[in-house]
Amino acid sequence: MLVSCGISMAYTHSAITVLKKTDGALFRGRYKSLLVEDDIDALYVSRYIHRNPIDMKRPLVTRLEEYRHSSYPAYINKSKVPEW
């Protein structure tokens, strides 16, 4: 099972690389994690995460409150806090 999965991944990676002429984020190395040690860093990280939908080359929404996959509206008291 593990071998066939590895072969399948290698084939998929090769096909995407050839067709798109790129490797894409999916097949790059492991994600990077950093320890958030103080309030200033936590504020910066929260701001970065929440602003991603509008700080892109082609923004997904015009206002952060419109992005349905975000908890930002709860942070600014525009919606109920999620149950999770």
In this predicted structure, what is the pLDDT of residue 15? 59
For residues 65 and 78, give the distance between their C-alpha atoms in angstroms, rounded to a whole number. 8
Q: How many CA within 13 A on the CB side of residue 35?
A: 1
Residue 42 phi, psi dihedral angles, 5° rounding: -65, -40
Q: The pTM is what? A: 0.52
Confidence band of 7 (pLDDT split at 50, 70, 90): very low
Confidence band of 6 (pLDDT split at 50, 70, 90): very low
In this predicted structure, what is the pLDDT of residue 2? 41
Residue 19, pLDDT > 50, answer yes
60 three-state secondary structure: coil
In this predicted structure, what is the pLDDT of residue 64? 87
